[in-house]
Amino acid sequence: MDESLLDFAREISTEAGKILSAGFRSKETVISYKSRTDLLTNVDKSSEEFLVGRISAAFPDHTIIAEEGSRKDAPGDYIWYIDPLDGTNNFAHGIPVFSISIGVYSRKTRNIVAGVVYNPYLNEMFTAVRGKGSCLNGERIRVSTLGYIGICLIATGFPYLSENMETNNSREFSRFLPRIQGIRRLGSAAIDLCYVACGRFDGYWEGGLKPWDMAAGSLVVEEAGGAVTRYHGEPFDPLHPEIVASNGLIHKQMIGILSL
Ligand code: IPD
Ligand code: CA
Ligand code: CA
């Protein structure tokens, strides 16, 4: 079942990717503001409408929760967490780092069972099924093998509500910076996680996230042999806003820095 869900998610992500590609750097794309710092485009909405329509038609007894407000509750085993455009800020600025992120959660097993993250600009499709490994465009991927955080490339992100210095990640950022080799802020949490999964990054942390940002990517990391927890090592929960993902070897070191 999980594999057929993945096939379906892969198919609709490819289609939604065409919607994103058509709107990218296009004069037709309209930008609006959810708040001063949180952008929205008509493309986020078209992508969501398309994805939600396809999933609810194919699986009427599944629950669907999507970022731009679509919500359909149903009694079946599965919950679809959808980010129709992760990296809206990049998208609106013409920066080609954005993705579609679709994670499927099972109420029965209480975890994510299938996930797809697709960057249509680079044509990179990251996929995972629980127990079956992770792939990039169909080829198996693995996390990196570095064991000392001092030589690691680490990614993070900052919440849109950035005015509060206690909660805007600046404290964590300044603790990591002197202790690692380099730091990146790509602007798509789903892509950050997949880059950990394929070894481009060695680790990633971020707070203030939503389930649609993390659901798919967390499974892609786990199935690529990495570790995914909350900031203090508690088991990952897509409904909890904090995530630390790593190659596993530096996980304790990352948690140590977050606990300083
Ligand atoms: C955002 C991106 C970003 C992260 C933000 C998210 P959006 O999602 O994933 O990397 O730092 O916290 O909200 O708004 O582009 O879908
Ligand atoms: Ca997002
Ligand atoms: Ca989004």
Residue with tokens 């013409």: 94
Position 163 scores a pLDDT of 86
Ligand 1 lined by 189 (C-beta under 6 Å): yes
Alpha-carbon distance of 36 to 186, in angstroms, equals 20
State the Cα–Cα distance between residues 192 and 175, nearest whole angstrom.
Answer: 19
Q: How high is the pLDDT of residue 97? A: 98
pLDDT tens for each residue of 71-89? 999 999 999 999 999 999 9
Q: Is 191 exposed, middle or buried (0-12, 13-18, 19+ CB in 10 A)?
A: buried
Residues forming CATH 3.30.540.10 domain(s) in the chain: 2-140
pLDDT per residue over 188-242, tens digit each?
A: 999 999 999 999 999 999 999 999 999 999 999 999 999 999 999 999 999 999 9
Taking CA atoms only, the protein residue closest to ligand 1 atom 16 is: 86
Note the pLDDT of residue 160.
87
pLDDT computed for residue 2 by the predictor: 84
Ligand 1 atom nearest residue 159's Cα: 12
What Cα–Cα distance (Å) separates residue 10 from each residue in 25, 86, 96, 187? 24, 16, 20, 22
Chain segment 94-116, per-residue pLDDT in tens? 999 999 999 999 999 999 999 99
Q: Enumerate the CATH 3.40.190.80 domain ranges in the chain, comma separated.
A: 149-258
Nearest ligand 1 atom to the CA of 85 is 16
Q: Which band of pLDDT confidence, cut at 50, 70 and 90, is reported for residue 44?
A: very high
Distance 87 CA to ligand 1 centre (A): 6
Ligand that lies nearest to the alpha carbon of residue 185, given by its number in the listed order: 1
Task: For strands 31-33 and 39-41, give the pairing.
Answer: antiparallel
Q: Which atom of ligand 1 is nearest to the CA of 44?
A: 16
Task: Give the tens place of pLDDT for each residue, 171-182.
Answer: 999 999 999 999
For the stretch 48-53, contacts whose Cβ atoms lie closer than 8 Å and that sit 24 or more positions apart, written own/partner, are 48/82, 48/84, 50/12, 50/15, 50/16, 50/19, 50/84, 51/12, 51/16, 51/82, 51/84, 51/100, 51/102, 52/82
pLDDT band with cut points at 50, 70 and 90 for residue 131: very high
Q: What is the CATH number of domain 2-140?
A: 3.30.540.10
Most ligand 1 atoms within 8 A of CB, residue of 99, 100, 188, 205 to mutate: 188
The CATH number of domain 149-258 is 1.10.10.60: no
pTM for the model: 0.98
242 lines ligand 1 (CB under 6 A): no
Length of the chain equals 260
Q: Is-contact 186 194, C-beta < 8 A?
A: no
- Asked if residues 159 and 169 have their Cβ atoms less than 8 Å apart, the reply is yes
